Protein backbone atom coordinates (compact mmCIF):
# COMPACT_ATOMS: atom_id res chain seq x y z
CA UNK A 1 0.00 0.00 0.00
CA UNK A 2 1.24 3.49 -0.81
CA UNK A 3 1.75 6.13 1.83
CA UNK A 4 -1.32 6.81 3.96
CA UNK A 5 -2.37 10.44 3.98
CA UNK A 6 -4.34 11.67 6.96
CA UNK A 7 -5.79 15.08 7.54
CA UNK A 8 -8.84 17.18 8.16
CA UNK A 9 -10.88 17.90 5.06
CA UNK A 10 -12.98 21.08 5.12
CA UNK A 11 -15.34 21.46 2.18
CA UNK A 12 -18.53 23.04 0.98
CA UNK A 13 -20.93 21.32 -1.38
CA UNK A 14 -23.55 22.69 -3.76
CA UNK A 15 -26.13 21.40 -6.21
CA UNK A 16 -25.57 23.42 -9.40
CA UNK A 17 -27.22 23.68 -12.79
CA UNK A 18 -25.51 21.42 -15.33
CA UNK A 19 -22.50 23.45 -16.51
CA UNK A 20 -21.44 23.94 -20.12
CA UNK A 21 -18.74 21.28 -20.54
CA UNK A 22 -17.10 23.24 -23.38
CA UNK A 23 -16.50 26.11 -20.94
CA UNK A 24 -15.14 23.78 -18.23
CA UNK A 25 -12.49 22.40 -20.60
CA UNK A 26 -11.01 25.91 -20.89
CA UNK A 27 -10.59 26.43 -17.13
CA UNK A 28 -7.08 26.52 -15.57
CA UNK A 29 -5.60 23.11 -14.69
CA UNK A 30 -8.69 21.33 -16.02
CA UNK A 31 -8.85 17.53 -15.79
CA UNK A 32 -11.63 15.02 -16.28
CA UNK A 33 -11.87 11.53 -14.79
CA UNK A 34 -14.38 8.72 -14.48
CA UNK A 35 -14.93 7.47 -10.95
CA UNK A 36 -16.47 4.30 -9.54
CA UNK A 37 -16.93 4.52 -5.79
CA UNK A 38 -17.99 1.59 -3.61
CA UNK A 39 -18.88 1.75 0.08
CA UNK A 40 -17.72 -1.01 2.38
CA UNK A 41 -18.96 -2.41 5.66
CA UNK A 42 -17.52 -0.24 8.44
CA UNK A 43 -17.73 0.72 12.08
CA UNK A 44 -20.45 3.10 13.28
CA UNK A 45 -19.42 6.71 12.56
CA UNK A 46 -16.81 5.75 9.95
CA UNK A 47 -17.33 5.80 6.19
CA UNK A 48 -15.08 3.29 4.40
CA UNK A 49 -14.86 3.24 0.61
CA UNK A 50 -12.75 2.21 -2.35
CA UNK A 51 -12.52 4.15 -5.57
CA UNK A 52 -11.20 3.59 -9.05
CA UNK A 53 -10.38 6.78 -10.93
CA UNK A 54 -9.72 6.65 -14.67
CA UNK A 55 -7.93 9.40 -16.57
CA UNK A 56 -8.16 8.15 -20.15
CA UNK A 57 -6.36 4.79 -20.03
CA UNK A 58 -4.59 5.51 -16.72
CA UNK A 59 -6.39 4.03 -13.66
CA UNK A 60 -5.64 4.70 -9.99
CA UNK A 61 -7.18 2.93 -6.98
CA UNK A 62 -7.77 4.39 -3.52
CA UNK A 63 -8.99 3.29 -0.12
CA UNK A 64 -10.49 6.02 2.06
CA UNK A 65 -11.87 6.18 5.60
CA UNK A 66 -13.72 9.28 6.81
CA UNK A 67 -14.87 10.19 10.30
CA UNK A 68 -17.24 13.16 10.49
CA UNK A 69 -16.26 16.02 12.82
CA UNK A 70 -19.06 18.46 11.95
CA UNK A 71 -21.15 19.45 8.94
CA UNK A 72 -18.15 20.93 7.05
CA UNK A 73 -15.28 18.73 8.24
CA UNK A 74 -14.09 15.14 8.34
CA UNK A 75 -10.92 13.36 9.36
CA UNK A 76 -9.85 11.66 6.14
CA UNK A 77 -7.39 8.80 5.80
CA UNK A 78 -6.60 7.90 2.20
CA UNK A 79 -4.05 5.70 0.48
CA UNK A 80 -3.46 4.71 -3.10
CA UNK A 81 -3.72 0.93 -3.38
CA UNK A 82 -3.02 -1.71 -5.99
CA UNK A 83 -5.66 -3.11 -8.32
CA UNK A 84 -5.42 -6.44 -6.46
CA UNK A 85 -6.07 -4.71 -3.10
CA UNK A 86 -8.98 -2.83 -4.67
CA UNK A 87 -10.56 -6.05 -5.95
CA UNK A 88 -10.05 -7.76 -2.58
CA UNK A 89 -11.71 -4.85 -0.74
CA UNK A 90 -14.67 -4.87 -3.16
CA UNK A 91 -15.65 -8.18 -1.55
CA UNK A 92 -16.47 -6.19 1.61
CA UNK A 93 -19.18 -4.07 -0.07
CA UNK A 94 -21.99 -2.93 2.17
CA UNK A 95 -24.87 -5.02 0.76
CA UNK A 96 -27.31 -2.13 1.28
CA UNK A 97 -25.38 0.09 -1.16
CA UNK A 98 -24.60 0.25 -4.86
CA UNK A 99 -21.47 1.47 -6.60
CA UNK A 100 -21.69 5.14 -7.57
CA UNK A 101 -20.50 6.19 -11.02
CA UNK A 102 -19.69 9.78 -11.87
CA UNK A 103 -17.58 11.92 -14.13
CA UNK A 104 -15.47 14.45 -12.24
CA UNK A 105 -14.44 17.73 -13.83
CA UNK A 106 -11.71 19.47 -11.82
CA UNK A 107 -10.23 22.94 -12.26
CA UNK A 108 -8.45 25.66 -10.34
CA UNK A 109 -10.23 28.95 -9.60
CA UNK A 110 -9.15 31.85 -7.37
CA UNK A 111 -6.76 29.73 -5.33
CA UNK A 112 -9.08 26.75 -4.84
CA UNK A 113 -9.60 23.41 -6.51
CA UNK A 114 -13.18 23.06 -7.73
CA UNK A 115 -14.67 19.62 -8.42
CA UNK A 116 -17.89 19.13 -10.38
CA UNK A 117 -19.38 15.65 -10.29
CA UNK A 118 -21.83 14.67 -13.01
CA UNK A 119 -23.97 11.64 -12.22
CA UNK A 120 -25.88 9.59 -14.81
CA UNK A 121 -28.97 9.77 -12.56
CA UNK A 122 -29.34 13.53 -13.17
CA UNK A 123 -29.67 15.36 -16.48
CA UNK A 124 -29.94 19.02 -15.46
CA UNK A 125 -27.94 19.31 -12.23
CA UNK A 126 -24.55 18.31 -10.82
CA UNK A 127 -22.68 18.49 -7.51
CA UNK A 128 -19.89 21.01 -6.95
CA UNK A 129 -17.43 20.56 -4.09
CA UNK A 130 -14.73 22.95 -3.03
CA UNK A 131 -12.12 21.93 -0.47
CA UNK A 132 -11.09 24.83 1.75
CA UNK A 133 -7.87 25.55 3.64
CA UNK A 134 -9.92 26.93 6.56
CA UNK A 135 -13.52 27.33 7.67
CA UNK A 136 -13.25 31.10 7.23
CA UNK A 137 -12.23 30.95 3.55
CA UNK A 138 -14.86 32.48 1.27
CA UNK A 139 -15.71 30.83 -2.03
CA UNK A 140 -15.99 32.68 -5.29
CA UNK A 141 -17.16 30.75 -8.34
CA UNK A 142 -17.07 31.60 -12.06
CA UNK A 143 -20.14 33.37 -13.45
CA UNK A 144 -21.11 30.39 -15.63
CA UNK A 145 -21.77 28.26 -12.52
CA UNK A 146 -25.33 28.63 -11.24
CA UNK A 147 -25.94 27.41 -7.69
CA UNK A 148 -29.30 25.75 -7.09
CA UNK A 149 -28.79 25.01 -3.39
CA UNK A 150 -25.99 24.68 -0.87
CA UNK A 151 -26.04 21.14 0.56
CA UNK A 152 -22.98 21.28 2.82
CA UNK A 153 -23.61 18.88 5.69
CA UNK A 154 -26.88 17.53 4.26
CA UNK A 155 -26.44 13.79 4.62
CA UNK A 156 -28.75 12.97 1.69
CA UNK A 157 -26.24 14.58 -0.69
CA UNK A 158 -23.22 12.73 0.64
CA UNK A 159 -21.88 10.09 -1.70
CA UNK A 160 -22.33 7.52 1.07
CA UNK A 161 -26.06 8.34 1.28
CA UNK A 162 -26.40 8.45 -2.51
CA UNK A 163 -25.03 4.90 -2.67
CA UNK A 164 -28.17 3.88 -0.73
CA UNK A 165 -30.74 6.14 -2.36
CA UNK A 166 -30.12 8.80 -4.99
CA UNK A 167 -31.92 12.14 -4.35
CA UNK A 168 -34.38 13.58 -6.84
CA UNK A 169 -33.12 16.43 -9.00
CA UNK A 170 -33.97 19.85 -7.60
CA UNK A 171 -34.83 21.39 -10.99
Residue 85 lies in a domain: yes
Total domains present in the chain: 1
| Predicted local distance difference test score (pLDDT) of residue 9 | 85
Task: Please write the tens of the pLDDT for every residue from 93-148.
Answer: 999 999 999 999 999 999 999 999 999 999 999 999 999 988 889 999 999 999 99
Residue 170 lies in a domain: no
Residue 52 lies in a domain: yes
Residue 27 lies in a domain: yes
Task: Please write the tens of the pLDDT for every residue from 58-89.
Answer: 999 999 999 988 888 899 999 999 999 999 99
Q: Which domain CATH number covers 156?
A: 2.40.320.10
Give Cβ neighbours of residue 109 (< 8 Å, ≥ 6 apart).
27, 28, 140, 141, 142
Domain that holds residue 12: 5-162
Residue 171 lies in a domain: no
| Model pTM score | 0.92
Residue 107 lies in a domain: yes
Residue 48 lies in a domain: yes
Amino acid sequence: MARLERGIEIERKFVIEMPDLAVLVGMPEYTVSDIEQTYLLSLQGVTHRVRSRRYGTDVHYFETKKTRIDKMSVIEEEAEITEAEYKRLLLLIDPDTRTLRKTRHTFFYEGLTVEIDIYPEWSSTAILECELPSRERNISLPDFIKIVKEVTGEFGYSNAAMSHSFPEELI
